Structure 1
Amino acid sequence: MASSGDGAADLELIESALAALPLDGSLDYHLWLKVLFALTSAVGEDAAVALMLKHSRDPRDTEDYIRQRLKSYRGEVKIGTLFWLAGQHGWQPPGKQREQVRAGDGQHLQPQVAPAEDVPFWQPFPVDLLPRPVADLVHAGAAAIPCDPALIAIPSLAALSAAVGSHVRLRLKRKWVEPAALWTLIAAPSGTGKSPAQALALEPVLDLEKRAAREYEAALEDYRQRLEDWEALPKDQRQAVPKPEAPRPRRFRVADVTIEALAPILKENARGVLLWRDELNTWIMSFDRYAQRAGADLSAWVEMYEARPISVDRKTGDGPIRVERPFVAATGGIQPHVLQQHVSPIMLSSGFIPRFILAMPPQTRRSEMRWDATYPKKWQRPTPA
């Protein structure tokens, strides 16, 4: 909070900077959010809300809406960001305060220079670098949900990785070969649309699962009939007729994060699988819960990422399950505070966390949408109502 002595001057300076910003709905949402957070760091939540209401010319900026956005505030943005953004829109500090401005935290910041920790923290995902069908889906889905395109694009990368599977590898040098496995993680608070975004991105995987389930049920019914026929044969004839083998379900996706559960699935599905949990906190927190085995599990997962052979002892004692080239793509979401609380030094030093493509997109304003009927259902593009 600004002090009473300098507070009046600081408040005058802050309002001068706010007046220079296009708070009419044309400012990018993540920059609008930066302005709100910068105000909160300097004058507190209530005063920040009052200032936004006073200077905003966007009818969507109601008190309830602004306070909802403040739920994701973590103190990471300082008042210098506001002055820097205002400077980008032609603002100059008035009078003798031109040389330096006093921020709410007591620091002196040059208004024309963005501090390293305060530069805009988000670079939009380069959607148009994706294959055209995927890019079209990302654009349409982001407008429809609505959400930041990265919420769809990032899990799409994991789905594409799983589609490639273990059958294709990249040879960088004669003896340096890398698999196509990608692990992606979206860090976003509740209510930002990450669940519907993931569901849209991974819909093709779910479609494959449904088809495989139908095929398995049909094969299982056929197997039961053939087994019944085989068992009905006289005992001497059974020796000449091979006993029917039970069908094995084809797997595209798994949710269990234990190596012991994955090993037999990977043994039966050589191409690999996609590990998808809407919230990956179960995986992240498991290394915290089982501290005694955390190092071993982390090492196993790092080796899994690199498609190194794994060997897991069977609980039945029938010998180990060995998978020569395990392949697991992974994707999911997590709330930022959970990620912050449970990422330990060992997760960083082991290389587990650095292997993730991690993104924390800004929240997107919610708005009513209508569908453009000229597009096929799967590729409908919404337009503002």
Structure 2
Amino acid sequence: MKELVGFYLKYLEQDFSLTVVDDKKASICKWTELQTNKLTKEEFTKIYTSHKAAGAALITGYDNLEVVDIDLKVFSTTSEKNEFWETLLSLLREAIFDFDRLFSIYKTKNAGYHILYKTKRCQPSQKVAKLQGHTQAVIEIKGQKGYVIMYPDNCVNGVQYSDIQYITDKDWHSLMSICRSFNYIIEKEDIPTQQKNKNNVYTGTSPFDDFNAQNTVWDVVSDEFTIVRNLSDRIVIKRLGSDNFLSGSIFKESDLLYLFSTSTIYPAEKGISAAAAYAYKYHNGNFSDAAKDLYQQGFGTRNEKEYKEKEKIVIEKNIDYEYNEDDIIFPIDVFPVQFKSFILQCNERLDTVIDYAGCSLLWAISLIIGNSLQVKVKNGWYEIPVVWFSLVGNPGIGKTPSIRLMLAPLIKENNKKIKEYIERKKEYDAYEKLSKAEKEKHIDVEPPSKKQNIVDDITMEALIDLHENVPHGIGIFKDELAGWLKDMNKYRSGSDLEAWLSSWSGSSININRMTRPGSFVEKPFMPVIGGIQPGILNTLYSEDKKDNGFMDRMLISFPENIVPLYNDKEIDYDVLKWYDMAIKKTILLIEQIDDDRNKVVFSTNAKKMWIDKFNEISNKQNSENENEYFKSMYPKQKSYIPRFALILNVLFCTIDDKYSIDVICDKAMEGAIKLSDYFVAHAKKIKFEKKVTEDMENVTNNHNSIYEKVKAAYNNDNNFNRSKLADLLSVSRITIIRYVNEIKDAHEGKY
């Protein structure tokens, strides 16, 4: 270390003040005095050559020297350290032009970093960023009353200590805002937990809590800010029109907005919820007025009298579409605990949707069973486990990823079969091109047949031809079901539709076209699954498809979902491997049975549960209170319940040998009934959504501007569904709320 004395002395000759430190990084001399009066070369040499000296440090604050000190010891793994540093560095490079030339960067002994520069805004030393769950700062600003150890050999970007220069105020502000954006310790904005409406003391769930539950803070402020970077734990944002690179962050876990910019309508350096942001944005921070406004919009628990009156109105209007709210939640408990755990882990770590994943698992097991098994409900009544799923949701909500994850083992095997066919077809085509003499010297090559059992875009004729080669069953998986539904009658009215209706029941299909020989399959097995948007599905509820029972056969899953932000959690590879092995085990279980629709019966208790549910459905069919539209759906549930029971029973047999493949257990029947209730509830939900949309269209159709349409909806019913109208008009929900506020103000004569 003594040989470095000359290196340090040259900095004393320049505009730097240095102190000498020991092996614990403590200053050997009184360094605070060096903020204004630096050591002479003689003084420094004398102290540095003492036995205690282990290095030197720059006095920050002297001649406006400031240093960003990044301490990565707070991270437990090297990958976490690297990720944090690379994220910080990329933001700085994006915000500050020519960053690597303006700043000096040195790596510290403990894998941290120093970013050095000079600024006329040099401040007292302070901690600016702590991570969630940590007390030690990850970023400190060393300015007045501070020092940093020098590391002569550790310059990262080629800008040496001697090259440190002044930066502009704009670059300094960008640097500070980026560093502060990593701070997780925030104070939440206090908002009243209870508010009064005009006549009642508010109790129960407050309008603010209800608003926060239904909206994100980004929903409120998205028209004022733009997203700079989407990080694992936060979204970094910038105010529109701001000269600064950043204005603040939105923390994903808490959904709180944290601003360090003071040039907005929101308070700085406080955690702001969606409701608090709404109060500042539309009521100038008056939380009392904001609570009244939100309450009038329907947020918060109604007082008892008001609730009963509202409930009465809703029942009178929509009694035909009533369903048990519990039935809307996918009954994931119907699966064996191992499969349930897998779906929940995928939901938590891969953001798959539980409803879509559950339906996809049912479809996968349906295809695996194929023509091997059927349920004997009673003599003369048999059900094959064919299922048709319509997974309803807006674009980007996660329909296809959820399906593909659950079908991955089957798709992998299906792709192998497709590749094998392509290779054999090439061999056969090459063989056919040989001359007669060449063929005599060659081993005979038979024409290959397709063996894939999952298809997407395919005509009914091609599907039946393929089914003849694969009698076990063919699954239809389409990312978008709309095309399948629209193309059903491509050749002539009723042809494909009739074939599909026959396939659902397991009856033989015989198709004759004038342009080709007939196609025939005796025991069709063709389950269907795919995604569809709610608006498109509503247009397909035509009278002909309703009259012939086609749409009644569709099992609809329409969960309430939002597009998730980035999820940094990883799923263990062993979990995915377990699922792959479980599906293969199910396949092996079924492969021991021939494709002859072997009969499976109910256990004694399962049959009792089935009879009770059958009679319950029959009573609904006979009831004068039941919507006639839904009465045609109930007979299909009498077919689906045994099918669900068979599928679930196979899953239980996969997990535990105590269950019998020939007898449907009590658990399977109990789960089948829950699944039926779930799909009935969602069928009513989609029909109700269609009716609400149609009613809203009727109210707004004769108006041109968005404002006039909102006004018409408000005048018709001031409690109209804001989200539904926003979707109908292709605008944000906040836009609807803003117009409603303007309309209410106009009614009250405010302007």
Indicate the TM-score class for this superposition, using the shorter chain for normalisation.
0.5 to 0.7
Superposed, 1:342-381 pairs within 5 Å as 342-364=540-562, 366-371=564-569, 376=574, 378=576
Partner of 2:365 in structure 1? 160
Would you say 1:269 and 2:475 are equivalent positions? no
Q: 1:286 to 1:213 in 2, by over 3 A?
A: closer
**What is the one-letter code of the residue matched to 2:496?**
D
Q: 1:374 to 1:343 in 2, by over 3 A?
A: closer
**Which of 496, 504, 517 is equivalent to 1:297?**
496
Distance in structure 2 (CA, Å) of the matches to 1:358 and 1:277: 15
3-state SS of 1:376 partner: helix
1:199-244 CA-partner distances (Å, limit 9, x unpaired): 112212210122213333454455467667894368xx79xx9953
Deviation at 1:108, TM superposition (A): 4.7
1:320-368 CA-partner distances (Å, limit 9, x unpaired): 2211111101000111111112211221221211112211011046244
Could you tell me which runs of 5 or more consecutive residues in structure 2 were left unpaired when the two chains were aligned: 1-195, 224-253, 258-272, 279-294, 580-751
Q: 1:168 to 1:22 in 2, by over 3 A?
A: same
Partner of 1:307 in structure 2? 506
**What is the one-letter code of the residue matched to 1:19?**
S
Deviation at 1:144, TM superposition (A): 2.4
Partner of 1:19 in structure 2? 206
Deviation at 1:277, TM superposition (A): 0.6
Deviation at 1:286, TM superposition (A): 3.2
3-state SS of 1:160 partner: helix
Partner of 1:127 in structure 2? 332
**What is the one-letter code of the residue matched to 2:568?**
R
Contact kept, 8 Å, 1:146 with 1:365, in 2: the verdict is: no
Q: 1:13 to 1:181 in 2, by over 3 A?
A: farther
Would you say 1:330 and 2:528 are equivalent positions? yes
Contact kept, 8 Å, 1:146 with 1:364, in 2: the verdict is: no
Partner of 2:155 in structure 1? none
Contact kept, 8 Å, 1:252 with 1:273, in 2: the verdict is: yes
Would you say 1:99 and 2:298 are equivalent positions? no
Partner of 2:455 in structure 1? 254
Q: 1:231 to 1:156 in 2, by over 3 A?
A: farther
Deviation at 1:167, TM superposition (A): 2.2
Deviation at 1:308, TM superposition (A): 0.9
Partner of 1:86 in structure 2? 301
Partner of 2:385 in structure 1? 180
Distance in structure 2 (CA, Å) of the matches to 1:157 and 1:163: 10
3-state SS of 2:527 partner: strand
Distance in structure 2 (CA, Å) of the matches to 1:228 and 1:58: 67
Would you say 1:59 and 2:263 are equivalent positions? no
Deviation at 1:182, TM superposition (A): 0.9
User: Which of 1 and 2 has higher RCO (CA within 8 Å, sep 6+)?
Assistant: 1
1:131-180 CA-partner distances (Å, limit 9, x unpaired): 45543331122112324301111122111111111222222222222212
Q: 1:227 to 1:131 in 2, by over 3 A?
A: farther
Larger deviation: 249-258 or 355-364?
Answer: 249-258
Superposed, 1:15-54 pairs within 5 Å as 19=206, 22-23=209-210, 32-33=213-214
Partner of 2:682 in structure 1? none
Larger deviation: 116-125 or 152-161?
Answer: 116-125
**What is the one-letter code of the residue matched to 1:310?**
I
**What is the one-letter code of the residue matched to 1:186?**
L
**What is the one-letter code of the residue matched to 2:475?**
L
Partner of 1:211 in structure 2? 416
Partner of 2:608 in structure 1? none
TM-score, length-scaled by structure 1? 0.66
Contact kept, 8 Å, 1:189 with 1:335, in 2: the verdict is: yes
Q: 1:12 to 1:180 in 2, by over 3 A?
A: same
3-state SS of 2:395 partner: coil
Distance in structure 1 (CA, Å) of the matches to 2:399 and 2:477: 13
Distance in structure 2 (CA, Å) of the matches to 1:335 and 1:250: 32
1:74-116 CA-partner distances (Å, limit 9, x unpaired): xxxxx99958x726xxxxx3xxxx53469xxxx75469x9985
Contact kept, 8 Å, 1:371 with 1:380, in 2: the verdict is: no
Contact kept, 8 Å, 2:342 with 2:575, in 1: the verdict is: no
Q: 1:277 to 1:19 in 2, by over 3 A?
A: same
Partner of 1:137 in structure 2? 342
Would you say 1:286 and 2:487 are equivalent positions? yes
**What is the one-letter code of the residue matched to 1:272?**
G
Contact kept, 8 Å, 2:397 with 2:563, in 1: the verdict is: no
3-state SS of 1:216 partner: helix
The structure with more radius of gyration: 2
3-state SS of 1:249 partner: coil
**What is the one-letter code of the residue matched to 1:308?**
S
TM-score, length-scaled by structure 2? 0.36
Distance in structure 1 (CA, Å) of the matches to 2:445 and 2:474: 27
Would you say 1:244 and 2:445 are equivalent positions? yes
**What is the one-letter code of the residue matched to 2:420?**
E
**What is the one-letter code of the residue matched to 1:309?**
S
Distance in structure 2 (CA, Å) of the matches to 1:230 and 1:167: 44
How big is the alpha-carbon RMSD for the aligned residues of Structure 1 and Structure 2? 4.3
Deviation at 1:261, TM superposition (A): 2.9
Q: 1:223 to 1:213 in 2, by over 3 A?
A: same
Distance in structure 2 (CA, Å) of the matches to 1:127 and 1:231: 62
3-state SS of 1:358 partner: strand
Larger deviation: 322-331 or 224-233?
Answer: 224-233
**What is the one-letter code of the residue matched to 2:206?**
A
Distance in structure 2 (CA, Å) of the matches to 1:17 and 1:132: 35
Deviation at 1:246, TM superposition (A): 0.9
Partner of 2:669 in structure 1? none
Contact kept, 8 Å, 1:24 with 1:58, in 2: the verdict is: no
Distance in structure 2 (CA, Å) of the matches to 1:347 and 1:276: 21
Partner of 1:3 in structure 2? none
Partner of 2:6 in structure 1? none
Distance in structure 2 (CA, Å) of the matches to 1:302 and 1:366: 37
Distance in structure 1 (CA, Å) of the matches to 2:578 and 2:567: 12
3-state SS of 1:363 partner: coil
Q: 1:352 to 1:13 in 2, by over 3 A?
A: farther
